[in-house]
Chains A and B, each alone.
Chain A
Amino acid sequence: NAGVMQNPRHLVRRRGQEARLRCSPMKGHSHVYWYRQLPEEGLKFMVYLQKENIIDESGMPKERFSAEFPKEGPSILRIQQVVRGDSAAYFCASSPTTSSGEQYFGPGTRLTVT
């Protein structure tokens, strides 16, 4: 059973470009979570999605950031008009349910904005 897949692993964007980060959850998992880790900091929750629904986006910046988890295909975290402060590692996690509290993390995407 493959783990959580994230791609790309490294992404370089110039200021003002768009960044698209993809996350394929583990097989059978319908819950996806995105976290951001700024340099030298811990992970911060961004958004929780189930198939076709955003359940909790309380950690998402109000502007330029969006997330989706379509019926088919991976979850996408989209950052429009990136700025240097968006440079971070973005981790995706998935779970089969929420009641166990357990989340399985992907390897992360390291975004660098130049």
Chain B
Amino acid sequence: AQKVTQAQTEISVVEKEDVTLDCVYETRDTTYYLFWYKQPPSGELVFLIRRNSFDEQNEISGRYSWNFQKSTSSFNFTITASQVVDSAVYFCALSEGRAGFQKLVFGTGTRLLVSP
């Protein structure tokens, strides 16, 4: 069965601190996609990244970086030098090939609070 676990319910940091959001997934499929979305207080979902199961290269985009490790079934997200605007709920999600990539399974989210 497919499952995504975000064990951190809420994280509070002070501006300029680095913070890592954890994501652990379960799947029996060998072909899948992993995603991160941001949900700011306004409520919309903002796409951050998609990673396929065959590409374990870490990715960096500005202050954001992602560490994908198949050996531990983890896809962690790090924000460097956090800013108040990073305050949001962050969701990790999984989409399986055997299900035709037809639905996303989301974790329960991690609420990040960045204070000035």
Among A55, A91, A101, residue most surrounded by chain B Cβ atoms (within 10 Å): A101
Q: Residue of A at shortest CB range from B50?
A: A102
Of chain B, the residue at the smallest CB distance from A104 is B47
A58-104 with Cβ < 8 A to chain B: 59, 89, 91, 93, 98-104
Give the residues in chain B near A101, CB-CB below 8 Å. Answer: 33, 35, 50, 52, 95, 101
Instruction: Confirm or deny: A56 has a beta carbon within 8 angstroms of a beta carbon on chain B.
Output: yes
Q: Per-residue CB proximity of B2-44 to A under 8 Å, as 1/0?
A: 0000000000000000000000000000000101010000011
Interface digits, B64-95 against A, CB 8 Å rule (1 contact, 0 not)? 00000000000000000000000000010101
In this assembly, does A108 line the interface, its C-beta being within 8 Å of a C-beta of chain B?
yes
Which of A35, A42, A48, A110 has the most B CB atoms < 10 Å from its CB? A42
Q: Contact check, B106 vs A44: say whether CB atoms are below 8 A apart.
A: yes
B101 close to A99 (CB less than 8 A): yes
* B108 and A105 form a contact (CB under 8 A): no
Taking the complex as formed, is B61 at the interface, i.e. its CB lies under 8 A from any CB of chain A? no
* Contact-size category for A: 20 to 34
Once bound together, how far apart are the Cα atoms of A32 and B106, in whole Å? 17
Q: Are A45 and B43 neighbours in the complex by a CB distance under 8 Å? A: no
| B3 CB to nearest chain A CB (Å) | 11
A102 to B52, CA, bound (A): 11
Query: Does A105 contact B44, Cβ atoms closer than 8 Å?
Result: yes
A41 vs B91: C-alpha distance when bound (angstroms): 10
| Chain B hits for A43, CB < 8 A | 45, 91, 93, 104, 106
Taking CB atoms, residues of chain B closer than 8 Å to A59 are: 103
